[in-house]
Amino acid sequence: MITRTGAALTIELIERQGVTQLAGVPGGANLPLYDALSRSRIRHVLARHEQGAGFIAQGMARVSGAPGVCFATSGPGATNVLTALADARLDSIPLVCITGQVATPLIGTDAFQEVDVYGMSLPVCKHNFLVRSVDELLEVVPAAFRIAASGRPGPVLVDIPRDVQQAEATFSRWPEPGLAESPRAAPSADIAAAARAITASRRPVLYLGGGVVHAGGAHLARALAERVDLPTVSTLMALGVLPHDHRLSLGMLGMHGAEATNHALQRADLLIAVGARFDDRATGKVAAFCPSAKVIHLDIDASELHKIRRADIPLPGDVTPTLTALLERLEPIRRPAWRDEIRVLQLTHPARCRAPGMARPEDLIRTVGDSVGPEAVVTTDVGQHQMWAAQAWPFSRPRQWLTSGGLGTMGFGLPAAIGAALAEPDRTVVCISGDGSLLMNIQELATAAELDLDIKLVLLNNHAMGLVRQQQDLFYGGNRFASDLDPATDFPAIARGFGWRVLDLAERGFDSAALNDTLSARGPRFIHVPVDGNARVYPMVPPGGANHDMLTEAACEA
C-alpha cells in the first residue's frame, strides 16, 4: 500500500503528468503544497504576483501545447489569478491552476483569507473542483489535466483546503495520468458536402482561427489552401499558420486587418472557417460580414456553430482528422480569375510601405523581427503596439506568436514571455510592450532577471494608453481623458534596477548596430523606444462598423 499526505500526493500526481516546471506564489493556505514541492523534481518559478504566475503558465502552454500549471494561495492569491484564467478561457489555452483554501471546517465562516474561489471561477474556467477529501485527489488531479487538454482546451481550477493537503491517503496503485481524449472528425456526410461546396465555389476564402494552432493542424490548413487555391485570412490568434510571405496569405482580417483583405472577404462566395469563432474584432458588423458567402464552419466546440453566423455546412469536429478527411475528397483546383481579382484589390488598396529605421513603430517592429529570425518567439501586451506587431512581424510558423486575443489583457506580454523562455530555452523570446501595459505587471522584470532568461523586451513608449487615446481622438472629439501617462517615468532606470541590461534609443536615436548587438546578446535585455504620441494604428474599422468601411491614415489626416 502507498501512503501520502494530500500535498505530497498532489505534487506526485503532477509529476506523473510530465510537468517539469510550474509558476506560483506561496501563502498560508498552500504552504503544505509548497513544502512537498520543495522535495520534488519539478522546478518552481517564483512569480512576483499571482496574475504573473498564471500568464507564465500560459506562456509555457502556448508554445508547447501542453497544459501549463500555476499555484496560488487562498483569498487574494486566488482572486489575483482569476484574470489569467479568464484570459486562458477565451483563448482556449490548457491550464491547470491549483489554489490553497482555508481548512474545510472554516469554509463559509469568513475566515482569514477565505473567498469562494470555486464560485468566483465558475464563469471563467472550463471546469472547477473543490476537493473535500484527500482520496478525491487521486481522481481529481488527472481529471483536471484531461479536461484542460481535451476538446476545446481551457483552464481548470482545483481548490484544495489546507486540511485536505495535510490529511493522509492510503491507496494500492497510482492512477493513470490524465491525457487528452482522442480527437474526432466531423460526420462523413458533412465533410463530403463541404468538399462539394469548395469544388463548386468561384471566390472562396479560407478563414483560419486559433483552433488550428491548438489542434496542431497548421500543416493541414496549408495543404488545403494549396490544393484548392484558397486565398487565406487569419485571425489575430492564427497568425503564423501560413507564413507571412506565402502566396496565398492575405494576412489578418478585421478591425486592423489590411484593406484589401477585408474587401476580398466582401466578394467571397464561400467562407471556410476553421477553428475560428467569428469574434467581433474579426467580423466587424456581423450583418455586413461576407454578405454573399455561404459558410462552412469547422470547430471542435459545437456550441460555436451558428452562435454568431449561421453555417450552411457545420462541421462539429477536431481540425486534424476533419481536414485530413476533407483533403482526401478534394482534387487540385486553380482559380486564376479570383487570384487576379484579389491582386487588383491589393493594388487599389496597397499596404503601407516600410520606412527605414524607426520612423514608424511598425518599421521598428519589422526590423526587430527580421533581426531575430524565424525561430524566435514573440509575445505582446495589448494596445497599439500589439496591432503594429500583428501587422508588421514576419510570422513564419505556428506557436511563434503569443498574444492576449479574446480578453485583451494588458500585462500579459512580459510574464507570457517568461513562460515561453522557460518552455523553449533555446529560442530567443521578444516581448513587444507599451508603457501602459508594462506597468500592469512590471514586477515580473525581477522574475526574468533572477532566472537570467533570454528575453528581449522592446518597450514602445508614447506616454499613454495609446489605443484608448486613439479612439478618444477619432470618436470622442479628441477628449483625451485618463489616457495620458506621466512622461517622467524613467523606464530604463527601473529596468536597470531590476537587473536588466538596457539600450535606450531615446538617448542615442536609432542605432542599427547597437540594436542588433542587443538582440543577439544572451540574457534579459530592455530596449526603450520613444514613440510619437500621435502615431496611430491604421487601417481601423470603427467600433460597430462594417469591415469594408475602414478608416485609413490618408482619409483621417486629409
Nearest to 107 by CA among 168, 31, 160: 160
Residue-level pLDDT at 228:
98
Residue-level pLDDT at 132:
97
Residue with grid cell 472528425, as numbered in its chain: 185
> If you average pLDDT over every residue of the chain, what do you get?
95
Residue-level pLDDT at 351:
82
Residue-level pLDDT at 355:
64
Residues 39 and 399: their CA atoms lie apart, in Å, by 33
Q: Would you place residue 280 in the very low, low, confident or very high pLDDT band (cuts 50, 70, 90)?
A: very high
The domains found in the chain, sorted by start residue, are: 2-171 (3.40.50.970), 188-348 (3.40.50.1220), 361-537 (3.40.50.970)
Three-state DSSP class for 1?
A: coil
Q: Please, are residues 258 and 351 in contact by the beta-carbon 8 Å criterion?
A: yes
**Alpha-carbon torsion angle 250, 301, 99, 71, nearest 10:** -30
Q: Quick one: CA dihedral 401, 402, 405, 408, positive or negative?
A: negative
User: Which residues are bridge partners to 72 per DSSP?
Assistant: 99
Q: Would you place residue 542 in the very low, low, confident or very high pLDDT band (cuts 50, 70, 90)?
A: very high
- Strand duo 270-274 + 401-402: pairing: unpaired
| Strand stretches in 18-126, DSSP E | 21-24, 43-46, 68-72, 95-101
User: Which residues are bridge partners to 273 per DSSP?
Assistant: 207, 297
Q: pLDDT per residue over 337-370, tens digit each? A: 999 999 999 999 988 766 666 678 999 999 999 9
* Cell numbers describing residue 252: 489578418
Residues 538 and 189: their CA atoms lie apart, in Å, by 43
Q: Quick one: CA dihedral 40, 45, 48, 51, positive or negative?
A: negative
Residues 151 and 154: their CA atoms lie apart, in Å, by 9
Q: Is the pLDDT of residue 555 over 90?
A: no
User: How many degrees, rounded to 5, is the angle at CA 330 between CA 328 and CA 336?
Assistant: 150
Nearest to 463 by CA among 443, 442, 480: 480
Q: pLDDT per residue over 450-509, tens digit each? A: 999 999 999 999 999 999 999 999 999 999 999 999 888 999 999 999 999 999 998 877
Nearest to 491 by CA among 454, 522, 457, 520: 457
User: pTM of the entire structure?
Assistant: 0.97
Q: Distances in Å between the alpha carbon of 442 and those of 22, 49, 407, 445? A: 20, 10, 19, 6
Residue-level pLDDT at 558:
54
Q: Is the pLDDT of residue 212 over 80?
A: yes
Element (H, E) at 357: none
Q: Would you place residue 276 in the very low, low, confident or very high pLDDT band (cuts 50, 70, 90)?
A: very high
Q: Please, are residues 208 and 398 in contact by the beta-carbon 8 Å criterion?
A: no
Q: Distances in Å between the alpha carbon of 98 and those of 20, 75, 125, 165, 307? A: 16, 13, 13, 12, 32
Q: What phi and psi, each to the nearest 5 degrees, are found at residue 235?
A: -75, 175
Residues 77 and 95: their CA atoms lie apart, in Å, by 17
Residues 525 and 453: their CA atoms lie apart, in Å, by 9
Q: Quick one: CA dihedral 444, 447, 448, 449, positive or negative?
A: positive
Residue-level pLDDT at 514:
93
Residues 291 and 268: their CA atoms lie apart, in Å, by 8
Q: pLDDT per residue over 376-415, tens digit each? A: 999 999 999 999 999 999 999 999 999 999 999 999 999 9
- Give the DSSP letter string of 404-420: --SS--TT-HHHHHHHH
Q: pLDDT per residue over 244-270, tens digit each? A: 999 999 999 999 999 999 999 999 999
* Peptide linkage before 539 cis (omega within 30 of 0): yes
Percentage of residues in the chain having pLDDT higher than 90: 94
Q: pLDDT per residue over 297-346, tens digit each? A: 999 999 999 999 999 999 999 999 999 999 999 999 999 999 999 999 99
Residues 23 and 370: their CA atoms lie apart, in Å, by 31
410 CB-contact burial (10 Å; exposed 0-12 / middle 13-18 / buried 19+): buried
- Strand duo 429-434 + 401-402: pairing: unpaired
Instruction: Please name the residues in contact with 236: beta carbons below 8 A apart, sequence gap of 6 or more.
Output: 252, 254, 281, 282, 390, 403, 405
Q: At what angle do helices 50-64 and 444-451 cross, to 10 degrees?
A: 60
Q: Please, are residues 481 and 472 in contact by the beta-carbon 8 Å criterion?
A: yes
* Cell numbers describing residue 141: 488531479
One-letter amino acid at 62 equals R
Annotate 342-380 with three-state secondary structure.
HHHHHHHCCCCCCCCCCCCHHHHHHHHHHHHCCCCEEEE
Q: Please, are residues 92 and 62 in contact by the beta-carbon 8 Å criterion?
A: no
One-letter amino acid at 55 equals F
- Give the DSSP letter string of 447-485: HHHHHT--EEEEEEE-SB-HHHHHHHHHHSTT---S-B-
- Give the DSSP letter string of 174-191: PPPPP-PPPP-PPPHHHH
